[in-house]
Chains A and B, each alone.
Chain A
């Protein structure tokens, strides 16, 4: 995904703001990257370059950390982030079928964002709610005992709020 000029400058500005006054110890690297992702929603290359410069690290080392951990995104997330839990209990209760339902409905694969940047879809390893399997997270909200039929309902409900109408129908 190519970034716009605006996105690039925003990334640099946010990074500089967060870096200002931070201790330059290497132990701080991951917390700093987490804060950048917390504000931007992702950690693009321009942000990484700022961090590397400030911390006095080779840029490839920052890239190494960002590409290692599941949590860091290099591309902007969707406005709504759908995470399907594929831990053991969820898998056994049909987690993979739910993932495929989302993939079909959103027309993207896990790890991708829809072209209109509305939704991104991810797999997550286990959120520890195994008794309520299968679990889907929509923007960190846990939706328990999910079924493929609920996908449409959720999209419908979110579509309503997007259009400014009253929420609550459908879900």
Chain B
């Protein structure tokens, strides 16, 4: 056994040694990192990177520019990190091409750290606070996101130099049962949303008599509003690959798959490169790290079906079929891909595994709570200031995540609800914000942990409309196999559409609740079983909004198109201004004989353009609900 230990550790040692010089060389020069994951690119990171390269060339400065992933601060993208030897690294945000030039000229070439553009320093700096100095930094604890945004995801040497694959080396020296015990002892629970014990899943698979086994990484992150998995795959694909290899080691799988959704082309690309590099380095294929363990992976792209995030539908898809879920039991760990024992784990779950291998189960348990150990990664989106990813200890409160890490609601609006868990989750109001975020407490509050997507809603968001939106989504994504989901979600959606159009009836709420409960009990898979959750949670906490829609034909948030009307306040309209007229795509605004602008209600398509266009000093355009109020206002105006 110690022979195997030595062989494997030596093999890794050799790889690391070969990788270090490149890493050390970087430390001796100024290095500039540019965050260019999909979100960074969309924010304009590539032109910024080109500007930096051009300016460096113009100044004849030899400073490597490395394209990295995303550290999670998406709200401030494009992000550039400048690492000068002997100086604390500096992180710059909202970098435009102009700022990028300045950074090169003033800080790289000179000594001015451009404090005005800095987000934070990576270590103590005399002028710039570190991330830890901000409220956000005091709560966040980066484990999985540790290297995201700081290493080149397309260079295995960076990962190796940073300590990568040490977890796999350790795993290879353990008997599989011990490996599984360690994962069980850590208490790691599936981060795909169900929160099932990862160790137990692996153990079930290992115990099967059938010798052909598979491990699959579920990267079909379908929840709208969730992008944690995308980020990890684009910023540190080797971390996930290492986790999958360790899983294979534990359950005795010879083949593994990455199931990545079609909508993530950059993630697929980075994974392909990572897999190729791992093969070249002997970290994948036959005799990994000179051991007797052989394992290889294939990357399979999804074809656009949210339901394929459900395990059995995912398996059907791999088997060349439409993504129809299958009855469980048997569970995939017993009979999965092609009927063989299969472990399916989420990207985030697998990302913790190398760390647990390296640092131990006890270390993992130091964060979070006994039943919910470790950290959790959330994608903050919607009406929050600091959109992006946040990795916090399990059982941090919702309030802390939204207001401390997320810096509160954007544009000074009032918080209304946080939608958590995607289309399978629920909306939680201000009154339950002190709920700790973990699998169990969220279930009690009427939501689910889900994959980690958190969308913050403010006073301008209609809760009935949000429920309708999610039902619309689930309805479109329903596979159609089972009665309750195929027909039940359609009935629920039809009712919600009537309500948002002002055609709700008093008995609708009771019918919605009854249908919701039966659909939860009767559906074949979790898509159907959780589809009613947005309705049940909004009915629980925001019933008054439903009632306003039904009884008063009024939308309190002024969002539902059929229940609102745009109106120009005559007393505020600056008659000589014509901005609104030009902004209207359907020419519904015209001046009356006093040159006050009027909106023709029957032509208006409620696109909001005029409201946005009206200059702030006039603010003459308002939304009214119910639409009848326009007639009332006009009467008063006369």
Q: Do chains A and B touch in the complex (CB under 8 A)?
A: yes
Per-residue CB proximity of A102-145 to B under 8 Å, as 1/0? 00100000000000000000001111111111010000101110
Is A171 an interface residue, CB under 8 A from the partner? no
Do residues A131 and B75 form an inter-chain contact, with CB atoms below 8 A? yes
Do residues B38 and A129 form an inter-chain contact, with CB atoms below 8 A? yes
Q: Which of B41, B42, B583 has the most CB of A within 10 A?
A: B42
Give bound CA distance, A128 to B383, whole Å: 16
Q: How large is the interface on A (under 10, 10 to 19, 20 to 34, 35 or more residues)?
A: 35 or more
Do residues B387 and A148 form an inter-chain contact, with CB atoms below 8 A? no
Question: Which of these binds chain A: B159-167, B201-209, B219-227, B438-446?
Answer: B219-227
Q: How many A-B residue pairs have CB under 8 A?
A: 148
Is A71 an interface residue, CB under 8 A from the partner? yes
Do residues B42 and A89 form an inter-chain contact, with CB atoms below 8 A? no
Is A166 an interface residue, CB under 8 A from the partner? no
Do residues A88 and B225 form an inter-chain contact, with CB atoms below 8 A? yes
Per-residue CB proximity of A30-46 to B under 8 Å, as 1/0? 11011000000000000
Q: How far, in Å, is B371 (CB) from chain A's closest CB?
A: 29
Is A21 an interface residue, CB under 8 A from the partner? no
Q: Which residues of B contact A101 (CB under 8 A)?
A: 585, 607
Give bound CA distance, A74 to B607, whole Å: 32
Is A70 an interface residue, CB under 8 A from the partner? yes
Given contact pairs A71-B262, A125-B263, A130 touches B227 in the complex (Cβ within 8 A)? yes
Residue of B nearest to A127 (CB): B263
The listed residue (A33, A124, A130) touching B263 by CB distance below 8 A is A124
Per-residue CB proximity of B359-393 to A under 8 Å, as 1/0? 00000000000000000000101110001100000
The listed residue (A25, A30, A88, A100) touching B382 by CB distance below 8 A is A88
Give bound CA distance, A86 to B466, whole Å: 12
Do residues A88 and B42 form an inter-chain contact, with CB atoms below 8 A? no
Q: How far, in Å, is A24 (CB) from chain B's closest CB?
A: 11
Q: Which residues of A28-80 are within 8 A (CB) of B?
A: 28-31, 33-34, 64-65, 68-72
Is B22 an interface residue, CB under 8 A from the partner? no
Is A162 an interface residue, CB under 8 A from the partner? no
Q: Which residues of A contact B607 (CB under 8 A)?
A: 97, 100-101, 148
Give bound CA distance, A132 to B78, whole Å: 12
Question: Which of these binds chain A: B25-33, B296-304, B547-555, B588-596?
Answer: B296-304
Do residues A88 and B303 form an inter-chain contact, with CB atoms below 8 A? no
Give bound CA distance, A92 to B455, whole Å: 9
Do residues B453 and A88 form an inter-chain contact, with CB atoms below 8 A? yes
Q: Which residues of A contact B379 (CB under 8 A)?
A: 130
6 A-B pairs, CB-CB below 8 angstroms?
A29-B320, A71-B303, A124-B263, A128-B226, A131-B75, A131-B387
Cβ-closest 9 pairs across A and B: A87-B224, A70-B304, A128-B227, A29-B320, A69-B303, A68-B322, A130-B381, A131-B387, A126-B224
Q: Could you list 4 further interchain pairs (A-B, Cβ under 8 angstroms) beyond the known A71-B302, A71-B304, A126-B226? A: A31-B301, A97-B606, A101-B607, A133-B381
